[in-house]
Amino acid sequence: MLRPGSGGGLDSASPSSGVTRLTERQRLAWLRLIRSDNVGPRTFRSLINHFGSAEAALDALPDLARRGGATRAARISTAAEAASELARGQDIGVTLVAPGEAGYPPRLATIDDAPPLLGIRGLTAALARPMIAVVGSRNASGAGLKFTQLVARDLGAAGFVVVSGLARGIDQAAHRASLQAGTVAVLAGGHDRIYPPEHEGLLADILHAGAAISEMPLGHAPRARDFPRRNRLISGVALGVVVVEAAHRSGSLITARVAAEQGREVFAVPGSPLDPRAAGTNHLIKQGAALITEAADVIAAVRPIMGRPVELPIEESDETPPPTDREPAAGERARIVALLGPSPVGLDDLIRLAGTSPAIVRTVLLELELAGRLERHGGGLISLAAS
């Protein structure tokens, strides 16, 4: 688990020991690292664990990518670029916070791919309250919209913050019904690139009693592949996810799948088998999702969870030696790469087949990822990226 520390690396303080903060120098280095090519949240964490600080990791990026087989130099975010993003964010009220800092949603910090820096706008207090995600079809039915309004309003009245993705249909209905109680919008693009554009007014209303979050840089217009990334944040901040309507292969089903992988509760609203918009939710129920017909069903299921403390993943020491005292030998690197292919494989299986230490395997995977040659899949699976 990444936590701000005094040395630019990790902190061994327990979650109950109080809020810690990055120094401004650390925040700039963290932002540079996560904005550099081929560095996602998991790779960011591996780099910090390996080198002890973002500054040291930035210095090592070119050599790591070269050893991974990069054919061209990857872009490394400059200090000027990071400083400009921080300044532009401040101009529109966006604060970049790290796990363990005030405002970072505590449950989001527990997922494997939690954003190292999360852009927050609005009331940070809303992000510390218990949240329930409500998602569903963009092309929603009248009945679906009505149920969404009822369940979101009742959840808000019971003290929950409703979180959704600011999309058309079910999402916007959930936000509008919970404006007074507080609602959180998870954005697929930067804070200054709202999608869909017609919901800019809705977002302004949300910020009066709620908040908006995004891991994307300012100026980033959302692309199709950004919405699944956003969906993991919707479920990650929440105790559970309510799916109101969803066709087969919809984004809402992706949110439900990721929620289950994250250990969140999954709730589904049954619908007519004649309505394609209910096909996904009915399938979720068949697969074991909790059937709900009112907000009370959700509240009864999550009440026991709310009483448990939020347990963060492994706390690292301030002293973060590299995971191995040597670099992979050429033969080891070649053997590990040869075991990878287009079909996803689990890390544990790869370590067993490689016949070497987990540290060596992770180092090779880090090199491959920084070279743009590794692809990560759900469930911790990895494969070689398509050339």
Lowest mean pLDDT among 187-196, 261-270, 312-321: 312-321
Structure tokens given for 223: 């692309």
d(Cα 94, Cα 87) in Å, to the nearest integer?
Answer: 9
Clarify whether residues 262 and 367 are in a common domain. Answer: no
Q: Are residues 153 and 301 in the same domain?
A: yes
Please tell me whether residues 196 and 269 are part of one structural domain: yes
Read off the pLDDT of each residue in 323-341 and give the average, rounded to a whole number.
81
Task: Note whether 263 and 354 are same-domain residues.
Answer: no
What does DSSP assign to residue 78? -
pLDDT at residue 316, rounded to an integer: 39
Indicate whether 316 belongs to any domain: no
Average pLDDT for 253-271: 96
**Least confident piece of the model among 283-292, 296-305, 377-386:** 377-386
pLDDT at 77 over 60: yes
What is d(CA 145, CA 245) in angstroms, rounded to the nearest whole number?
A: 9
- Tell me the three state secondary structure of residue 284: helix
Quick check: 187 and 214 in contact, CB under 8 A? yes
Cα 84 from chain centroid? 24
User: Domain check: are 258 and 347 in the same one?
Assistant: no
Distance CA 193, CA 191 (A): 6
What's the rounded mean pLDDT across residues 277-300? 97
Lowest mean pLDDT among 143-157, 209-223, 344-358: 344-358
245 vs 6, residue with greater confidence:
245
Mean pLDDT (the chain) is 90
Q: Is the pLDDT of residue 188 over 90?
A: yes
Handedness of CA 44, 45, 51, 53 (dihedral sign): positive
Q: Write the CATH number for 343.
A: 1.10.10.10
Top-confidence residue, 387 or 240: 240
Q: What are phi and psi of 34, to 5 degrees?
A: -75, -20
In a domain, 175, yes or no: yes
> Which residue, 161, 147, 387, is CA-closest to 243?
147
Specify the DSSP class assigned to residue 269. -
In the predicted structure, residue 324 carries a pLDDT above the cut 50:
no
Q: What is the pLDDT of residue 21?
A: 87
- Secondary structure letter of residue 123 according to DSSP: -
Kindly state whether residues 247 and 171 are assigned to the same domain.
yes
Q: Give yes or no for residue 314 having a pLDDT over 70.
A: no
Distance CA 200, CA 204 (A): 6
Please say if the pLDDT value at position 202 is more than 60. Answer: yes
- Number of structural domains found in the chain: 2
Q: Which residues contact 150 (CB under 8 A, 6 or more apart)?
A: 177, 294, 295
DSSP line for 22-58: --HHHHHHHHHHHTSTT--HHHHHHHHHHHSSHHHHH
Residues 202, 139 share a domain: yes
Q: Are residues 299 and 339 in the same domain?
A: no
- Report the CATH number that the domain containing residue 301 is assigned in CATH: 3.40.50.450
In whole angstroms, what separates CA 36 from the centre of its chain? 17
Same domain, 301 and 349: no
Domain that includes residue 259, residue range: 121-306
Domain co-membership, 265 together with 125: yes
Decide if 94 is inside a domain: no
Q: Is 134 within a domain?
A: yes
Average pLDDT over residues 37-60: 94
pLDDT given for residue 326 in this prediction: 66
* Interval 343-352: pLDDT, tens: 999 999 999 9
pLDDT reported for residue 160: 97
